[in-house]
């Protein structure tokens, strides 16, 4: 028995991977349920619109907006080739989600390219993060607004990592991060928008963290990241990646893109550090980033 179009759509909606199809103009003509779950955008919000129209806005690992340059879908449609890539999509809530994508050409019966298909998987370690959230909720160690670790839990983690460093020599680093000009966001767009900015910045951290690292809200618009078993070069690379991802993320407020940046102070812990000295050093380095022009990382 031949399958109907509706039957094919139902099969596509059961796929664990996100999948969407575009025509030659890159207008979305099919969007499955997994794509909705990974991106936050439902079918009504995307169908018939260009995938680059303030929607997914893919970035590569260097923070380049692929929708304005080497878009994998555009290249596939133009040349009829397939490709695999790891990129970052824009989530409806504002943060960036790392994905693994497979892009193939869509052809008609004569073999002519009439569009493209992207199948993608979430690489953010969502299962690990969900488990961590449940554990934090039980221990009342979750920041209610941003849904990441609160200051109390960060302090406990720092104490544990310092003890691990002293006893076993396992290195770790700390990043102290502050949203630049956050008061201006609240003054211009209101505190509800400010809360949403805090949420998408936190979402960027949690979606792009390794399972054994921890990110939390220290207070106000300040965040702390604790990265285990890293060198100074590792810490710099991680911080720069997060900085670029936040810079390239945005919220739509009355059809206007609201974007923010962060300044970062990063440092490796020593076996003579306490929580106070470690945070003070990272905080001072963060202020050096502010003084140097903001939206940058200072490492020592």
Q: What is the pLDDT of residues 198-243, one digit of tens each?
A: 999 999 999 998 888 999 999 999 999 999 999 999 999 999 999 9
For residue 280, the tally of other CB atoms under 10 A from its CB is: 14
pLDDT at 138: 63
pLDDT at 136: 67
State which fold the 5-122 domain adopts.
Beta-Lactamase (3.30.450)
Residues 6+ apart with CB under 8 A from 195: 145
3-state SS assignment for residue 278: helix
Closest alpha carbon to 208 in 154, 245, 234: 245
Q: Find the range with the poorest average confidence among 55-69, 76-90, 104-118, 168-182.
A: 55-69
3-state SS assignment for residue 75: helix
Question: Measured at the alpha carbon of residue 230, what is the angle toward residues 228 and 231, in degrees to the nearest 5?
Answer: 155
- Average per-residue pLDDT for the chain: 90
Q: What is the pLDDT of residues 31-85, one digit of tens each?
A: 999 999 999 999 999 998 887 776 778 888 777 888 777 788 888 888 888 989 8
What gap in Å lies between CA 92 and CA 214, rounded to an integer? 23
Residues 6+ apart with CB under 8 A from 86: 61, 98, 99, 100, 101, 123
Closest alpha carbon to 148 in 162, 128, 129, 161: 129
State which fold the 126-299 domain adopts.
Alpha-Beta Plaits (3.30.70)
The three-state DSSP-derived secondary structure of 115-166 is EEEEEEEECCCHHHHHHHHHHHHHCCCECCCCCCECHHHHHHHHHHHHHHHH
What gap in Å lies between CA 300 and CA 266, rounded to an integer? 7
Domain boundaries, the chain: 5-122, 126-299
Residues 6+ apart with CB under 8 A from 103: 72, 73, 76, 82, 83, 84, 85, 116, 117, 118
Active-site annotation, residues: 221
């Amino acid at each position: 028995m031949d399958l109907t179009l509706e039957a094919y759509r139902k099969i596509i909606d059961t796929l664990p991977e996100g999948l969407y199809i575009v025509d030659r103009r890159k207008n979305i003509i099919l969007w499955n349920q997994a794509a909705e779950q990974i991106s936050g955008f439902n079918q009504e919000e995307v169908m018939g619109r260009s995938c680059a129209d303030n929607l997914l806005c893919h970035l590569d690992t260097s923070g380049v907006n692929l929708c304005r340059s080497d878009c994998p879908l555009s290249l596939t449609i133009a040349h009829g080739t397939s490709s695999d890539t790891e990129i970052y999509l824009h989530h409806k809530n504002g943060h960036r989600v790392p994905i693994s994508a497979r892009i193939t050409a869509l052809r008609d019966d004569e073999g002519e390219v009439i569009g493209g298909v992207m199948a993608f998987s979430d690489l953010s370690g969502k299962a690990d993060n969900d488990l961590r959230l449940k554990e934090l909720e039980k221990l009342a160690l979750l920041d209610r607004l941003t849904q990441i670790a609160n200051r109390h839990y960060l302090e406990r983690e720092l104490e544990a990592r310092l003890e691990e460093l002293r006893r076993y020599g396992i290195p770790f680093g700390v990043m102290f991060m502050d949203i630049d000009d956050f008061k201006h966001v609240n003054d211009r767009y209101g505190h509800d928008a400010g809360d949403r900015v805090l949420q998408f910045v936190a979402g960027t951290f949690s979606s792009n963290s390794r399972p054994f690292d921890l990110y939390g809200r220290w207070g106000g618009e300040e965040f702390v990241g604790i990265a285990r078993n890293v060198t100074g070069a590792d810490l710099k690379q991680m911080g720069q990646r997060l900085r670029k991802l936040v810079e390239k993320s945005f919220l739509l407020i009355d059809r206007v893109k609201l974007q923010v940046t962060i300044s970062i102070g990063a440092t490796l812990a020593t076996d003579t550090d306490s929580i106070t000295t470690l945070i003070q050093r990272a905080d001072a380095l963060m202020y050096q980033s502010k003084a140097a022009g903001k939206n940058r990382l200072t490492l020592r």
